[in-house]
Amino acid sequence: MGRLWTKGTINRAMLPRLVTFFLVIWGTQADVKQGVYKVYRCVPQDKDQLIALTELYRKSTELELDFWKEPRDVDGYVDIMTPPAEQEMLTEFFREHGIDYKITIGDVEKLIIQREKSELNPWSKFNSSDPVLASFFRKRMSDDFVTSNKAKYGFGDYHSYDTITAWLDDIQRFYPSLAQTFIIGTTFEGRQIKGIKIGSPVHATNKRIIWVDAGIHAREWASTHTALYFIEQLITKYGIDPQITAYMDTLNFYILPQANPDGYEYSRSDVGPQTRFWRKNRGKQVCKKDHWRRERCCGGVDLNRNFDFHWGESGSSDDLCSDIYQGSSAFSEPETRAIRDKIMSQEMWGKVDAFITLHTYSQMWIHPFNHERKSFPNDVQDLINVGQKGVDAIEKVYGTKYRFGTGADILYPSAGGSDDWAKAKANVKYVFLLELRPGEEEWDGFLLDRRQLIPTGRETWEGVKTVVDAVMAKARPKFSPQIPEIRRPPPPVEPPRFLTGRIVENPTTAMATTPTPFATTISQLVTFPRNGDSMPINRNTAPVGLNQVVLNQEEARRRFEERLRQQQQVRQQIIQNAQQSRRVSQSSGTTGQCLDRSRWCGVWLQQNPALCEQSTIYMSHDCARTCRFCR
């Protein structure tokens, strides 16, 4: 694929004017030329370029730019899917700020058809000129998919929601002692949200629980396929693989392969990029006038911003048209309420030891908390130990490398996520969010090649098994019932010592009779009941041994605060330049009147009263009278 590279000159003071100018041109353009959607990739080289891209990201809803990867750090990838009408604007923006870019996908719709709609031939016509892909398929050849499942499903391809739920029903019919479907709710469009419970026997209610969900973002199809692969492994390997047999004899698995059925089916309904890359659910549509007096109809909620944990605080939006719209309130959507009610039900409450939610893409293994940097639960060391084992297990299969950490630290802060809620509100021990293939450096993003679906499922399953192993270690008996426990006699109790009239027990004896807490901490422990047991929880500080974690996150916080200071300095400079420009304009003898150069000034200000302050340079030039800049 050809690449376009462009470089220009940075002009920080032009940023607000440039962005607003693009909005004006976009808003008043009558004839939109026909063309194709493209994906542009750029990498900010310094803080000025990062600030410019961040400002563009804030305007992305109005400009109809779809940021597949948001600007986060200097030297970090930024991927932007762009409609035909905005491509000239975007390239001009890149030139204005000296940002190098390339076109990674020249025709998004064509790639959608090629990757997801055309007839699939797994072993021919793949791009052998790509050494990474060629190496991948050499490994893949010895791992073809063979199944003994009586319920047949077309693995290695994407299928409709009806096909998925029919397969779940078939599994229940063929394996009634191992599988039972369940319905947790109904969507806005009336679809049942169906999952499957797997265990041996499946009707046992006294076992610990593993929860897995996928597809909460509609366009992330590969996550749903991966959850279905988990189901396949459990059903077909029971009684054959000793490890999986032990899993199912000891635990119950609740798997929800598609948490957003309406959004998923909508994203399948057309090959147009705006439809295929739909992210939210399909809630009620609301029509409103935008800043340019055009009527826009928007709807849907980002379900992973709708859970009740720091809802609406960071990484979300109250703009109905935004891809990260948080909803009118926490749990405003039937899908999120359904997950909440199932986890909190009498059937499951206090029994869930692992909550795993599957997403795409970036190849990241994420643990709580994600609403802000330098924030983690008291048992974070346990999450680190298990999560790192999962990352290592994934890499051992095909060499796929994952990044590990909190979403706030390795991605960006985002509040209202299901994983944070599961940890903080549902009291689940092991909570992880997995961003599956491809990696950030790959160019195809959500359009994962179907030939990678089965390998993605296999390597991810190996990683998830490390979480199941950790739960098993807590669930299985500590001693074999066939072997009597041999106890050593306790040490002799020393007589008490008398100090200033008070009796002080011998320290060794006192420690020997004190219950050992689940996690060693450096501050007071409090307990709460959890399925009949008391589980110590540290509400104050982090566990011992986290010094390096704390230092790393403090360093990340310092870098973040430094970037904020730099951004503030740039904004102050922009304001100073605008003020200087107004003073020059007022003192000039060539202009004796205070005029509006645009007849739209009043309309703009009526729609956004703060526009004069937000875009001082542009407004002082074209709307000086309306904004009262020269009185």
CATH number, domain at 374? 3.40.630.10
**For position 55, which CATH number holds?**
3.30.70.340
Considering the domain architecture, whether residues 220 and 90 belong to the same structural domain is answered as no
Separation CA 350–CA 253 (nearest Å): 15
Q: Are residues 157 and 218 in the same domain?
A: yes
pLDDT digits (tens, 9 = 90+) for 178-223: 999 999 999 999 999 999 999 999 999 999 999 999 999 999 999 9
Is there a domain that residue 530 lies in? no
246 in any annotated domain: yes
Lowest-confidence pick of 10-19, 75-84, 543-552, 608-617: 10-19
d(CA 296, CA 446): 26
Least confident residue range of 54-63, 76-85, 448-457, 551-560: 551-560
* pLDDT of 103 over the 60 cut: yes
Q: Which of 473, 504, 526 is the last residue of a domain?
A: 473
Please state, in angstroms and rounded to a whole number, the distance separating the CA atoms of residues 152 and 588.
Answer: 80
Q: Whole-angstrom Cα distance, residue 524 to residue 537?
A: 9
The whole-number pLDDT of residue 367 equals 96
Position with higher pLDDT, 240 vs 628: 240
Specify if 458 maps to a domain: yes
Please check whether residues 187 and 68 belong to one and the same domain: no
Domain co-membership, 101 together with 177? no
90 plus 169 within the same structural domain: no
Q: Residues 257, 193: one domain?
A: yes
Q: Indicate the number of domains in the chain.
A: 3
Shared domain for 85 and 174, answered yes or no, is no
Q: Please tell me whether residues 52 and 180 are part of one structural domain.
A: no
pTM: 0.68
- Which of 334-348, 419-433, 585-599 shows the lowest per-residue confidence on average (mean pLDDT)? 585-599
State which of 473, 496, 520 marks the end of a domain.
473
Confidence of residue 524 (pLDDT cuts 50, 70, 90): very low
Is the same domain home to 297 and 370? yes
Nearest Cα to Cα of residue 354 among 254, 477, 249, 461: 254
Dihedral sign from CA coordinates of 61, 284, 340, 171: negative
Same domain, 175 and 99: no
From 458, 473, 488, the end of a domain falls on 473
- Is 172 strand, coil or helix? helix
- Between 350 and 139, whose confidence is greater? 350
With a pLDDT cut of 70, the percent of the chain lying above it is: 70
Question: 524 is written with which tokens?
Answer: 């007071």
| pLDDT band at 594; cut points 50, 70, 90 | confident
Do 61 and 168 share a structural domain? no
Question: Amino acid identity of 444?
Answer: D
Specify the pLDDT at position 605: 75
- The one catalytic residue in 435, 462, 494, 555 is 435
Residue 362 placed within a domain: yes
CA dihedral (211, 214, 216, 220) in degrees, to 10, reads: 160
- In a domain, residue 558? The reply is no
Range of the domain at 303: 153-473
Q: Is 116 contained in some domain?
A: no
Q: Which residue has the tokens 């499942």?
A: 149
Whether 453 is covered by a domain: the verdict is yes
317: left (phi over 0), alpha (psi -120 to 50) or beta: beta
- Nearest of 270, 405, 283, 403 to residue 336 by alpha carbon: 283
Encode 230-265: b = buried (16+ Cβ within 10 Å), e = exposed.
Answer: bbbbbbbbbeeeeebebbbebbbbbbbbbbbbbbbb
Averaged confidence pLDDT in the chain: 80
Residues 80 and 216 grouped into a single domain = no
In-domain check, residue 522: no
Does residue 44 surpass a pLDDT of 90? Answer: yes
435 flagged as catalytic: yes
pLDDT in tens, 599-622: 667 767 776 787 787 676 667 777
